[in-house]
Amino acid sequence: MDFSDRMVNVIAEGFDVVVRSGAIRDSQLMAKKLAVFSSKVVASPAYLARAGIPLHPDDLQRHACLHYRFPHSGKLESWQLLGVDPASANPLPVAMVCNNTQGRLSFARRGAGLAWLPDYIVRPALDEGALVSVLDEYAVRAEPLWLLWPSGPYLPLKTRVFIDYLAGCFQPGANLAGG
């Protein structure tokens, strides 16, 4: 297993299955939609007690923002919020940049700032109270989450079992934390 946020070439690098969000660009791959997810602006209760709760996207200018850098392009992920035009908006403050979702989740849990993270990643932390979601009424980003694998006449049993297992993890009521 390779836990990386980089864009891999599934066939050339010999991957059996990958999880990818957004648009599918490779017609040589088979695909199964796992879910449609949204992202949330989250922070620890300790951070919000110290820095205040943002009530409007403009308030983010006064906060420590934990960013994601796409490994394949080097660009920072934009926080897609209602009423904010990325072309004309001031860039968000950069308190930390990471190329890994789990790293940003960890920093947010430890009170380092606000992070823009997929809802399926933060759900366990929200449920246990380790993180709080803010600006929910402004979060509009929704995109598909896919399982992709090389097309071919035969699908190995281990691959089919893995695909079925992951698809089951994203059914309503499934516990993504594994507990």
The token duo for 57 is 């996207």
Give the N- to C-terminal CA distance of the chain in Å, as an integer. Answer: 20
- Give the Cα separation of 83 and 136 in Å (integer): 13
Q: What is the mean pLDDT of residues 149-177?
A: 82
Q: pLDDT averaged over the chain?
A: 87
pTM: 0.74
Q: Residue 87's pLDDT is what?
A: 61
Region 119-131 average pLDDT: 94
Q: What are phi and psi of 47, to 5 degrees?
A: -60, -45
pLDDT in tens, 5-58: 677 888 888 888 988 877 787 778 999 998 888 899 999 999 999 999 999 999
Helix (H, G, I), strand (E, B) or coil at 75: coil
**Total Cβ atoms within 10 A of residue 149:** 21
Taking only the tens place, the pLDDT of each residue in 96-122 is: 999 888 999 999 999 999 999 998 889
Mean pLDDT of 141-160: 87
Q: What is the pLDDT of residue 108?
A: 98
